[in-house]
Chains A and B, each alone.
Chain A
Amino acid sequence: MSDVSETAEAAAPTTGAVFRDAFRLLCILLEGSIPVDEGEGAEGFDRVFHGEKRAQAFVFYVCYPDYLANRLLDLHDAGQAGLLEKVGKIFAEDEPSVRLSKMIRWQRGAYFDLDNSLGVLSFYELIRPIQRTLPNLGSQHDYLVGPKAAVFVQEAVKAQPALAWYLERARLAMKVGGLKSGHALKAEQYKFGEYEGTKHSGVIPSIADQVKKRFEKAKAGDSSECH
Chain B
Amino acid sequence: MSATDTINWIDEIATKSRVERDEVAKILLAHGIEEDSTLPRKRSLTLKRVLLRGTKHGEDKPFEFLWDDLSNGIWGLLTDANSKGKSSILGLVRGALRGELPGSRLKPDVWGWLSEFELDFLIEEHVHRIRLTKPAGATEASTTVATLSRFDSDRELVIKRGISDGAFGKAIDSLFMDELGFSRVRAYRAKEGEAAEHGWPSMCASLFISGPGDTLFGDTSKDAVHLRLIQLFIGLPWVTTYTCASTALKAVSARLAKETAGKSDRVQGRIKELEEEIRGLEINLKDEPDLNRFRADLPSLDQELVEKRREAEAAAALIIERNTQYGDAKIVRAEARRKLLQAKDDAEARLVFKRLKPTCCPSCAREFERDRFAATDAPMCGLCGKEEDKVGSTEELIAELEAEAAETLVSQKAAEKAAGAAKDAFETASAAVGAISQRIEEVQAELHRGSAADEIILDIAKLKARIEELELASGPLVDVDPIRREEAILKAAEKVTKSLFLDLQTEILTEVSAALLKFSKAFGVRNLQSMTLNGAGHLKIEQGGQTTSFTKLNSGENLRVRIAAALAVLEIAERRGHGRHPGLIVLDSPAAQEMSHQDFAALVESVAAAADKFPDVQIMVGAVNRHELLSHVPRERRRHAEGDNPLF
By the criterion CB–CB under 8 Å, are B346 and A156 in contact?
no
Tell me the minimal C-beta distance from B292 to chain A in angstroms.
55
Mark interface residues in B357-369 (1 if CB within 8 Å of A CB, else 0): 0111010000000
Binding-face segment, A15-23, A103-111, A192-200: A15-23
Cross-interface CB contact of A99 among B338, B346, B356, cutoff 8 Å: B338
Please, which residues of chain A bring their CB within 8 A of the CB of B351? 159-160
Please, which residues of chain A bring their CB within 8 A of the CB of B359? 125
Cross-interface CB contact of A156 among B337, B341, B342, B352, cutoff 8 Å: B352
Cross-interface CB contact of B344 among A119, A124, A155, A162, cutoff 8 Å: A162
- Count of chain B residues with a beta carbon within 8 Å of a chain A beta carbon: 24
Cross-interface CB contact of B338 among A100, A122, A160, A162, cutoff 8 Å: A100
Chain B residue with Cβ nearest A165: B345
By the criterion CB–CB under 8 Å, are A19 and B341 in contact?
no
Q: Is B349 part of the contact surface with A, judged by Cβ < 8 Å? A: yes
The CA of A82 and the CA of B341, in the complex, are separated in Å by 27
By the criterion CB–CB under 8 Å, are B358 and A123 in contact?
yes
Tell me the minimal C-beta distance from A15 to chain B in angstroms.
10
Please, which residues of chain B bring their CB within 8 A of the CB of A152? 352, 356
Q: Is B350 part of the contact surface with A, judged by Cβ < 8 Å? A: yes
Mark interface residues in A73-109 (1 if CB within 8 Å of B CB, else 0): 0000000000000000000001001111100000000
Tell me the minimal C-beta distance from B406 to chain A in angstroms.
15
Please, which residues of chain A bring their CB within 8 A of the CB of B352? 19, 23, 152, 155-156, 159-160, 163
Q: A97-B338, A100-B338, A120-B353 are in contact. Are A16 and B348 (CB under 8 A)?
A: no
By the criterion CB–CB under 8 Å, are B342 and A16 in contact?
yes
By the criterion CB–CB under 8 Å, are A20 and B345 in contact?
yes
Please, which residues of chain A bring their CB within 8 A of the CB of B347? 19
Q: Is B261 part of the contact surface with A, judged by Cβ < 8 Å? A: no
Question: Which residues from 129 to 188 on chain A have a C-beta closer than 8 Å to any C-beta of chain B?
Answer: 152, 155-156, 159-160, 162-163, 165-166
Chain A residue with Cβ nearest B397: A16
Please, which residues of chain A bring their CB within 8 A of the CB of B314? none
Tell me the minimal C-beta distance from A68 to chain B in angstroms.
16
Cross-interface CB contact of B334 among A97, A156, A162, cutoff 8 Å: A97
Please, which residues of chain B bring their CB within 8 A of the CB of A99? 338, 341
Chain B contact residues, majority secondary structure: helix
Q: Is B421 part of the contact surface with A, judged by Cβ < 8 Å? A: no
Please, which residues of chain B bring their CB within 8 A of the CB of A119? 362
- Count of chain A residues with a beta carbon within 8 Å of a chain B beta carbon: 31
Tell me the minimal C-beta distance from B459 to chain A in angstroms.
66
Please, which residues of chain B bring their CB within 8 A of the CB of A16? 342-343, 346, 397
By the criterion CB–CB under 8 Å, are B358 and A20 in contact?
no
Q: Pick the most buried of A21, A94, A119, A124: most chain B CB atoms within 10 A of its CB.
A: A124
By the criterion CB–CB under 8 Å, are A97 and B358 in contact?
no
Tell me the minimal C-beta distance from A154 to chain B in angstroms.
11
Cross-interface CB contact of A19 among B330, B338, B346, cutoff 8 Å: B346
Tell me the minimal C-beta distance from B142 to chain A in angstroms.
125
By the criterion CB–CB under 8 Å, are B397 and A22 in contact?
no
Tell me the minimal C-beta distance from A143 to chain B in angstroms.
15
The CA of A22 and the CA of B346, in the complex, are separated in Å by 9
The CA of A191 and the CA of B467, in the complex, are separated in Å by 93
Please, which residues of chain A bring their CB within 8 A of the CB of B349? 19-20, 22-23, 156, 160, 163
The CA of A97 and the CA of B412, in the complex, are separated in Å by 14
Tell me the minimal C-beta distance from B352 to chain A in angstroms.
4
Chain B residue with Cβ nearest A148: B356
By the criterion CB–CB under 8 Å, are A17 and B338 in contact?
no
Question: Which residues from 291 to 342 on chain B have a C-beta closer than 8 Å to any C-beta of chain A?
Answer: 330, 334, 337-338, 341-342
Mark interface residues in A11-38 (1 if CB within 8 Å of B CB, else 0): 0001011111111000000000000000
Please, which residues of chain A bring their CB within 8 A of the CB of B356? 124-126, 152
Q: Pick the most buried of B337, B356, B359: most chain A CB atoms within 10 A of its CB.
A: B356
Please, which residues of chain A bring their CB within 8 A of the CB of B383? 123
Q: A98-B337, A155-B352 are in contact. Are A122 and B344 (CB under 8 A)?
A: no
Chain A residue with Cβ nearest B338: A98
Q: A119-B362, A124-B356, A163-B345 are in contact. Are A19 and B350 (CB under 8 A)?
A: yes
The CA of A23 and the CA of B341, in the complex, are separated in Å by 14
The CA of A17 and the CA of B347, in the complex, are separated in Å by 8
Please, which residues of chain A bring their CB within 8 A of the CB of B341? 98-99
Q: A22-B353, A100-B338, A152-B356 are in contact. Are A122 and B345 (CB under 8 A)?
A: no
Chain A residue with Cβ nearest B331: A97
The CA of A19 and the CA of B394, in the complex, are separated in Å by 13
By the criterion CB–CB under 8 Å, are B338 and A18 in contact?
no
Please, which residues of chain B bring their CB within 8 A of the CB of A125? 356, 358-360
The CA of A8 and the CA of B644, in the complex, are separated in Å by 171
Please, which residues of chain B bring their CB within 8 A of the CB of A124? 353, 356, 358
Please, which residues of chain A bring their CB within 8 A of the CB of B350? 19
By the criterion CB–CB under 8 Å, are A122 and B362 in contact?
yes
Q: A125-B358, A152-B356, A156-B349 are in contact. Are A20 and B342 (CB under 8 A)?
A: yes
The CA of A100 and the CA of B358, in the complex, are separated in Å by 31
Tell me the minimal C-beta distance from B183 to chain A in angstroms.
116
Tell me the minimal C-beta distance from B167 to chain A in angstroms.
118
The CA of A159 and the CA of B352, in the complex, are separated in Å by 8
By the criterion CB–CB under 8 Å, are A97 and B337 in contact?
yes
Tell me the minimal C-beta distance from A121 to chain B in angstroms.
9
Tell me the minimal C-beta distance from A26 to chain B in angstroms.
9
Please, which residues of chain B bring their CB within 8 A of the CB of A120? 353
Chain A residue with Cβ nearest B361: A123
The CA of A94 and the CA of B349, in the complex, are separated in Å by 22
Cross-interface CB contact of B346 among A18, A98, A122, A165, cutoff 8 Å: A18
Please, which residues of chain B bring their CB within 8 A of the CB of A17? 342-343, 345-346
Chain B residue with Cβ nearest A126: B356
Mark interface residues in A193-212 (1 if CB within 8 Å of B CB, else 0): 00000000000000000000
Cross-interface CB contact of A160 among B343, B348, B362, B397, cutoff 8 Å: B348
Tell me the minimal C-beta distance from A118 to chain B in angstroms.
10
The CA of A209 and the CA of B347, in the complex, are separated in Å by 31
Q: Besides A23-B349, A124-B353, 7 other CB < 8 A contacts?
A: A19-B347, A19-B353, A22-B353, A23-B352, A125-B356, A152-B352, A160-B351
- Nearest 6 interchain pairs by C-beta: A97-B334, A123-B362, A19-B349, A160-B348, A20-B346, A156-B352
Residues of A within 8 A of B (CB): 14, 16-23, 94, 97-101, 119-120, 122-126, 152, 155-156, 159-160, 162-163, 165-166
Chain A to chain B contacts (Cβ below 8 Å), 22 pairs: A16-B346, A17-B346, A19-B347, A20-B345, A23-B345, A23-B352, A97-B338, A100-B334, A100-B338, A101-B338, A119-B362, A122-B362, A123-B383, A125-B356, A126-B356, A152-B352, A152-B356, A156-B348, A159-B352, A160-B352, A162-B345, A162-B348
